[in-house]
Amino acid sequence: MTIPEREPQNLPDGWEMVIGLEVHAELATHTKMFSPAPNHFGAAPNTNVHPVCLGLPGTLPVVNAKAVELSIRVGLALNCTVQRCVFARKNYFYPDMPKDYQISQYDQPLNADGWLELPSGYRVCVERAHMEEDTGKSTHVGVSGRIHDAGYSLVDYNRAGVPLLEIVSRPDIRGPEEAKAYVAELQSILIAVGASDGKFEEGSLRVDANVSVRPTGSTELRTRCEIKNVNSLRSIGRAIQYEAIRHVDLYTAGEAPIQETRHWDEEGGRTRPGRSKEEAEDYRYFADPDLVPIDPSPEWIDEIRAALPALPRERRQALVDLGGRGEAVTVTVERRLDTLVREAVALGADAERALIHAANNLAVEGADRLDSARFAALVTMETSGQLTSTQAKQVLASMVATGRHPAELAAEAGFEAMDTGELEGLLDGIIAARPDEWQRFVEGEAKLQGMFTGQIMKATGGKADGKVIAQLLAAKKQA
Amino acid sequence: MSRTAVEIAAAVASGAASAVSILEEHLARIDEREAEIHAFNTVLTDEARAQAAEIDRQVAAGHDVGPLAGVPIALKDNLCTRGIPTTCSSRMLEGWRPPYNATVVERLAEAGAVLVGKTNLDEFAMGSSTENSAFGPTRNPHDLSRVPGGSSGGSAAAVAAGFSAVALGSDTGGSIRQPAALCGVVGMKPTYGAVSRYGLVAFASSLDQVGPFSRDVADSALLYELISGHDPRDSTSIPATLPSVRGHLDRGVEGLRVGLIRELLGETLDGFEPEVLAQTRAAADTLAAAGAIVDEVSVPSTIYGLSAYYLIAPAEASSNLARYDGVRYGHREEGGANTAAMMRASRTAGFGPEVKRRIMLGTYGLSAGYHDAFYGKAQRVRTLIIDDFAKAYENFDVLLSPTSPCVAFPFGAKSDPLTMYLNDVATIPSNLSGQPSISVPFGTGAHGLPVGVQVLAPLLGEPVMYQVAAQIERAAKEPLLQETLLKEGRS
């Protein structure tokens, strides 16, 4: 096995980053973790509620079996040991938490000791992936929207009790790009196994980053800060980079960071202190007496394992086996277009062209619903010269929009292969109209190639193949 | 005194008596004595009349009316009743109306019971005298200068005074059995998980169990059969069909092995009244006379139960009662500078002193640095008690002890919390072990006040427990025999 290439450190010489990530994923269940209330995003405030998730006196939690199943799917996909687990109460007062304790898992999580392999081949150890319930959502109404100067606060309990899986990595990550790759890969896995919709923008995926730095080559773990509120891949990279530099600056100045929670300020591009350690809560964890331990049977685990779909890593490998390389492979799998490509290739389409389309031209809604036979037909029309690459791209867009056959769409758009003789005649006319420019082009002014290409395109209404034009210009120049 | 639930249901179903007339008898007694006893937080006169009339219509129409048809019942005010105030006798929940019924309330309604009211309790079920109610204490119907016991003092008093034929209470450390003993009625705590806790406002979740009060053992067995059984809304509910108990009532005790718990016979621990101990031994003697094999047995760890209980129960309570923060429902003190200040002020004003004491005890016991020394150790003692009982049940079918060390005591007599806590010493072990036990009235003690004898059984041992309880009850109803035994046994 080759040693994977690691990210170069964006830090002053002699320092390296030590990063561990806690990813909260909302599970894609129909109902909440312990309550029959519906679990879906975007409902009117306080409508997805039930006495149980409102924590009304006398109510009791009952575990959602689907949430357990989805959590086991993720655990298996992350190569974890799936084990007997116990729910524990994490006690602290907060208005958006109806019971003023959160049901989570503490010393006995469902999934433990796994790993996630990045596209680079590097494996990040996963310490645990445990189940818990989400809190409600507070809106602070006041001058800045922050709690300190709020006139009053509104609480929406729709999110209270939504099932979460918290996936905790070991501090194995060494840079912002690696952190982004980890989260992106985890997101793909969550979506692939159907555990979560993985949408940052709807809060289905939320990341806390534990960041510290140390002298390169050292194995110590220095004081870390937990950065909360990092809610996009881009922010994760920026927040980590900012925080690591802050630590190095402190150490360089003879100071040291204090262990604290910090918040990422997206606009300011910086982290700000949140709760400090002095105010840190004592959560008084204890096993929740309202719930019984879950001990998944080996049969159940095997059943879930057998039903797992191919994981992103395996799917990337399948594309590599077709001759795909690099970014195109990663992007195609991320967009879940790999099945489309593989089926089209099986039907005779050229693998390279198919991958290029998937990676570059299908970043649109509905692309994953393309019919693979029609996609294969399009790729073949292009490679056989019936369509230019520009035309193929246009037809592909129409196919996504209408679902129709590429031959029909090409005919309607008036796309047909142009005769080289016809093009040559057009070019002669253009040269005759611009003798000076042509002379300069022949003498080596290469940038004029674009002007001549543009003129031919204009004359043909965009139907000419750029490659053929280039060949024609080269031949004419030599003549 | 009025008829039992079994008699009422039979009379109503057959048309021999109307549910309305039965109810009116009970309402008349409430009218007469409730002002001095204060068993209820809420009396549901109109609702009960409507419900009773409906039962009578059903009977007239020839419909099946259920095994509790027309039986007036009272519910401890920590059992959720849809649209009806459920206060836990706390300012914190004054006026709160749950949007749902507890599972046991649904089951009683299906059986045709008529709900006459919600009964008083020690605030959030924390206490042994009902003196901790925010709405004033309940008085013992046998002696108004004395407590009815607690925390289900209102339910015990309601049944003793004939305000209802039967009642439900909750038992976390003896809160059904002890007031039953002090009020001279039958009170039973089922096996943990036999009866759903859904809709019972939690005090200590791993110890709480709902159970019946009644004037005789047969009614207790009937109520138990009706309220027990699996409930998918309670994860700790036992997912199995439970054995029937009523068939065991008339079987006698020939050949059954009965163990008197040595540690609860007054030699190991102080505070047991001699009359109470004498009655307990007398009850054992009647069982022996009826063919049981009676012997003393040591359950050494029972004496540590009290300490373990007063760490575990407050720990769970500190978490269970966190939700009363003034944000969503219940008492709120306005005008705090921020949310935390509002929560603090609401909890300070909403909770009484005993509730605060236990929340603080529990919070402390779960805190970082103390967790293992207190909560962790208490849980290990709990395991020890379970093991000790298991050992005892290798040689005995049931165990016997006094329910309470003393008869009903005067108000204010146990104002020191620790003295009050000691009152639960005989009842707490069953909560820690999860095992069923029942208090059956057996004669009287000091001042002619009722004494209760406790029968303990292994997990799901309700059939044999009721079998023995029924025998004790038969003996208690034969005063001549009882007196003879007392004289002979103690001379």
Could you read off the pLDDT of B300-323 as tens digits, one per residue? 999 999 999 999 999 999 999 999
ipTM of this predicted structure: 0.95
Distance of alpha carbon B119 from alpha carbon B106, whole angstroms:
18
Question: Are A100 and A188 contained in the same domain?
Answer: yes
Minimal Cα distance from B317: which residue of A? A289
Is the CB of A98 inside 8 Å of chain B's CB atoms?
yes
**Of A62, A89, A93, Cβ closest to residue B235:** A62
Residues of chain A neighbouring B375 (CB-CB closer than 8 A): 286
| pLDDT value of residue B482 | 47
* Mutation to test the A interface, candidates B201, B328, B370, B371, most A Cβ within 10 Å: B328
Whether A1 is in a domain gets the answer: no
Q: What is the pLDDT of residues A146-185, one digit of tens each?
A: 656 667 889 999 999 999 999 999 999 999 999 999 999 9
Render pLDDT for A59-106 as a digit per residue (tens, 0 to 9): 999 999 999 999 999 999 999 999 999 999 999 999 999 999 999 999
Residue B486 has pLDDT above 60, yes or no: no
Q: What is the mean pLDDT of residues B129-135?
A: 98
| Contact residues on chain A for B383, CB-CB shorter than 8 A | none
pLDDT interval class at A419 (50, 70, 90): low
The pLDDT of B246-275, averaged and rounded, is 94
Q: Which domain holds residue A36?
A: 15-305
In this predicted structure, the answer to whether residue A145 has a pLDDT above a threshold of 60 is: no
* Set of chain A residues whose Cβ sits within 8 Å of the Cβ of B339: 95, 153
The reported pLDDT for the residue numbered B489 is 44
Q: What is the rounded CA–CA span in Å between residue B411 and residue B140?
A: 10
Please pick, among B90, B151, B196, B404, the residue that the annotation labels catalytic.
Answer: B151
C-alpha to C-alpha distance for A438 and A92, rounded to whole angstroms: 79
pLDDT confidence bin for A280, thresholds 50/70/90 = low
Chain A residues in contact with B97 by the CB 8 A cut-off are: none
Residue B52 sits at φ, ψ, to 5 deg, of -65, -40
Does the distance separating the beta carbons of B234 and A60 come in below 8 Å? yes
Q: Which residues fall within 8 angstroms of residue A32, CB to CB, at 6 or more apart?
A: A38, A39, A48, A50, A52, A53, A64, A133, A161, A162, A163
Establish if A318 belongs to a structural domain: yes
pLDDT band at A195 (very low <50, low <70, confident <90, very high): very high
* For range A16-26, the mean pLDDT: 97
Q: Which three-class secondary structure state does DSSP give residue A474?
A: helix
Residue A430 lies in a domain: yes
CA–CA separation, B272 vs B280, rounded Å?
11
Q: Thinking of the domain B5-233+243-248, which architecture would CATH place it in?
A: Alpha-Beta Complex (3.90)
- Boundary of a domain, candidates A377, A396, A412: A412
Residue finishing a domain among A287, A305, A323: A305
What's the mean pLDDT when you consider all of chain A? 90
Tell me if A56 and B325 make a contact (CB, 8 A cut-off). Answer: no
Residues of B in contact with A85 (CB under 8 A): none
- A114 has pLDDT over 60: yes
Sorting pLDDT into bands at 50, 70 and 90, what band is A417?
low
Q: β-strands A225-230, B450-456: how paired?
A: unpaired
Give helix B217-227 / helix B5-14 axis angle, nearest 10°: 70
pLDDT at B330: 94
Contacts of A33 in chain B (CB under 8 A): none
| Token couple for B329 | 């429902």
Nearest C-alpha of chain A: how many angstroms from B226? 20
Are A73 and A195 within 8 A, CB to CB? yes
In a domain, A3, yes or no: no
Q: Tell me which residue in B198, B232, B363 faces A58 most closely, judged by beta carbons.
A: B198
Query: What average pLDDT does the segment A139-148 reach?
Result: 67
CB contact under 8 A, B199 and A63: no
User: Are residues B319 and A91, on separate chains, in Cβ contact within 8 Å?
Assistant: yes
Span A398-408, mean pLDDT?
A: 91
Are the Cβ atoms of B86 and A58 closer than 8 angstroms?
yes
Task: Report the number of distinct structural domains present in chain A.
Answer: 3
Asked whether the beta carbons of residue B319 and residue A55 sit closer than 8 angstroms, the reply is: no
Q: Are residues A354 and A383 in the same domain?
A: yes
Catalytic annotation present for B356: no
Of B322, B329, B363, the CB nearest to A99: B322
pLDDT tens per residue across span B165-206? 999 999 999 999 999 999 999 999 999 999 999 999 999 999
Within 13 Å of residue A147, how many CA atoms lie on the same side as its CB? 12
Tell me which of B188 and A467 has the higher pLDDT: B188
Instruction: Reply yes or no on whether the pLDDT at B40 is more than 70.
Output: yes
pLDDT at B440 over 60: yes
The shortest C-alpha distance from A90 to chain B (Å) reads 9
Task: Give residues 282 to 321 of A whose Cβ lies within 8 Å of B.
Answer: 282, 284, 286, 289-292
Distance of residue B190 Cα from the nearest chain A Cα, in angstroms: 17
Mean pLDDT of B455-469: 98
φ, ψ of residue A92 in degrees (nearest 5):
-165, 155
Spell out which residues of chain B touch residue A98, defining contact as CB-CB under 8 Å: 323, 328
Q: How far, in Å, are A158, A320, A431, A433 from residue A447 at the CA level?
A: 60, 37, 16, 18
Q: Which residue of A has its CA nearest to B376?
A: A286
A99 Cα to chain B: minimum distance (Å):
4
- Catalytic residue status for B151: yes
Active-site annotation holds for B377: no
In a domain, A170, yes or no: yes
Nearest chain B residue to A287 by CA: give it: B316
Tell me, what's the pLDDT at A229?
A: 76
Cβ contacts of A58 on chain B, cutoff 8 Å: 78-80, 86, 98, 100, 102, 198-202
Distance from CA of B200 to the nearest CA of A (A): 5
* A41 neighbors A200 (Cβ within 8 angstroms): no
- Is the pLDDT confidence value at A379 over 60? yes
Q: Please answer whether residues A30 and A39 qualify as being in contact, where contact means their C-beta atoms are separated by less than 8 angstroms.
A: yes
In a domain, A459, yes or no: yes
Q: Which of A367, A394, A412 is the last residue of a domain?
A: A412
Above 90 in pLDDT, residue A134?
yes
Q: Which of A157, A286, A295 to mutate to test the interface with B (most CBs of B within 10 A)?
A: A286
Q: Which of B79, B235, B340 sits opposite A290 (nearest CB)?
A: B235
Place of tokens 């958006």: A96
CB B351 within 8 A of CB B132: no
Of all helices (H) and strands (E), which one includes residue B311? helix B302-320
Gap from B79 CA to chain A (nearest CA, Å): 8
Would you say residue A464 has pLDDT above 80? no
Q: Let me know whether A349 and A209 are in one domain.
A: no
Is a pLDDT exceeding 50 seen at residue A213?
A: yes
A268, two tokens = 């300011």
For the stretch B352-356, contacts whose Cβ atoms lie closer than 8 Å and that sit 24 or more positions apart, written own/partner, are: B352/B90, B352/B91, B352/B123, B352/B132, B352/B134, B354/B122, B354/B123, B354/B126, B354/B127, B354/B132, B354/B417, B355/B90, B355/B123, B355/B124, B355/B126, B355/B132, B355/B317, B355/B321
Rounded percentage of chain B residues whose pLDDT exceeds 70 = 97
Angstroms from B312 CA to nearest CA on chain A: 11
With beta carbons under 8 A apart, name residues in chain A contacting B235: 60-63, 290-292
Active-site pick, B129, B155, B175, B228:
B175
Opening angle at CA A291, ends B76 and A287, nearest 5: 105
- Contact criterion met (CB < 8 Å) for B233 and A62: yes
Residue A10 lies in a domain: no
Angle at alpha carbon of residue B450, lines to B447 and B454, rounded to 5° = 135
User: How is chain B split into domains, by residue range?
Assistant: 5-233+243-248
Q: Based on the domain organization, do A277 and A296 belong to the same domain?
A: yes
- Shortest CA distance from B87: residue in chain A: A57
Of B325, B329, B366, the CB nearest to A100: B325
Phi, psi angle pair for A263, to nearest 5° = -110, 140
Looking at the complex, does the CB of residue A60 fall below 8 Å from at least one CB of chain B?
yes
- Between chains, do A153 and B339 touch, taking CB under 8 Å as contact? yes
Q: Same domain for A268 and A153? A: yes
Q: Which residues in A lie closer than 8 A to residue B327 (C-beta atoms)?
A: 95, 155
- Any idea which residue has 């003690």 for tokens? B445
**For residue A294, what is the nearest residue in chain B, using CA coordinates?**
B235
Q: Which residues contact A239 (CB under 8 A, 6 or more apart)?
A: A209, A227, A230, A264, A271
Same domain, A285 and A406: no
Residue B30 main-chain phi, psi, to 5 deg: -60, -45
